[in-house]
A = this chain, B = another copy of it.
Amino acid sequence: MIAEIVTVGTEIVSGSILNTNATILSEKLLELGIEAYYHTSVDDDKLRLASVIDIALNRADLIITTGGLGPTKDDLTKEVIAELLDLELVLDSNMEEKISQMFLDMNKSMTENNRKQALKPKNSIFIENTIGTAPGIFININDKKIIMLPGPPSEMTLMFDNYVIPLIKEDFYVLTKSINTIGIGESTLETKLLDMNLSTRETNITTFAKMGTVEIKIIGKGKNRNKLKNEIDNITLKLSKELKQYIYGYDNISIEEVVLDMLKERKYILGLCESCTGGLIASKITRIPGASNVLDRSIITYSNQSKIDELNINASTLKKYSPVSKEISYEMAKGLLDKSNIDLAFSITGYAGPNTKETEEDVGLIYMCIMTKYKYKVIKCKFSGDRQSIQDKAAIKALNEIRMFLLKNH
Cβ–Cβ contact B30 & A23, under 8 A: no
B contact residues around A341 at 8 Å (CB): 305
Judged by a CB distance under 8 angstroms, whether A249 is at the interface is: no
A309's nearest neighbour on chain B, judged by CB, is B340
Can you offer 10 A-B residue contacts whose CB atoms are under 8 A?
A: A13-B36, A17-B23, A18-B23, A38-B48, A154-B385, A278-B287, A282-B282, A287-B387, A297-B300, A297-B306
Judged by a CB distance under 8 angstroms, whether A183 is at the interface is: no
A20's nearest neighbour on chain B, judged by CB, is B18
Expressed in whole angstroms, the minimum distance between the Cβ of A360 and any Cβ of chain B is 14
Q: Name A293-321 residues within 8 Å CB distance of B.
A: 295-303, 305-306, 309-310
Q: Name A258-292 residues within 8 Å CB distance of B.
A: 272, 274, 277-283, 285-287, 289, 291-292
The contact of A36 among B14, B17, B274, B280, by CB within 8 Å, is B14
The contact of A286 among B27, B252, B278, B306, by CB within 8 Å, is B278
Expressed in whole angstroms, the minimum distance between the Cβ of A6 and any Cβ of chain B is 10
Q: Name A100-133 residues within 8 Å CB distance of B.
A: 108, 111, 113-114, 131
Cβ–Cβ contact B27 & A13, under 8 A: no
Cβ–Cβ contact A111 & B187, under 8 A: yes
Judged by a CB distance under 8 angstroms, whether A96 is at the interface is: no
B contact residues around A39 at 8 Å (CB): 12-13, 19, 39-42
**Number of contact residues on A: which range applies?**
35 or more
The contact of A187 among B17, B43, B113, B339, by CB within 8 Å, is B113
Segment touching B, from A207-215, A233-241, A325-333, A365-373: A207-215
Interface centre among A28, A41, A281, A302 (most CB of B within 10 A): A302
A9's nearest neighbour on chain B, judged by CB, is B208
Expressed in whole angstroms, the minimum distance between the Cβ of A358 and any Cβ of chain B is 11
Q: Name A15-41 residues within 8 Å CB distance of B.
A: 15-20, 22-30, 35-41
CA distance A28 to B309 in the complex (A): 45
Cβ–Cβ contact A291 & B278, under 8 A: yes
The contact of A111 among B191, B280, B286, by CB within 8 Å, is B191
Given the interface pairs A15-B23, A51-B59, A280-B283, the reply to whether A113 lies near B302 with Cβ below 8 Å is no
A48's nearest neighbour on chain B, judged by CB, is B37
Majority DSSP secondary structure for residues of A touching B: mixed
When each residue 329-351 of chain A gets 1 if its CB lies under 8 Å from chain B and 0 otherwise, what string results? 00000000001110000000000
Cβ–Cβ contact B206 & A10, under 8 A: yes
Judged by a CB distance under 8 angstroms, whether A200 is at the interface is: no
The contact of A296 among B111, B283, B295, B302, by CB within 8 Å, is B302
B contact residues around A26 at 8 Å (CB): 13-15
B contact residues around A16 at 8 Å (CB): 27, 208, 210, 215, 217, 252
Cβ–Cβ contact B72 & A207, under 8 A: yes
Expressed in whole angstroms, the minimum distance between the Cβ of A397 and any Cβ of chain B is 16
CA distance A90 to B296 in the complex (A): 60
Cβ–Cβ contact A289 & B113, under 8 A: no
A194's nearest neighbour on chain B, judged by CB, is B73
CA distance A40 to B42 in the complex (A): 9
Cβ–Cβ contact A339 & B309, under 8 A: yes
Q: Name A211-233 residues within 8 Å CB distance of B.
A: 215, 217, 219
A278's nearest neighbour on chain B, judged by CB, is B286
Given the interface pairs A14-B35, A19-B19, the reply to whether A295 lies near B286 with Cβ below 8 Å is no
Expressed in whole angstroms, the minimum distance between the Cβ of A60 and any Cβ of chain B is 11
Cβ–Cβ contact A13 & B38, under 8 A: yes
CA distance A72 to B43 in the complex (A): 33
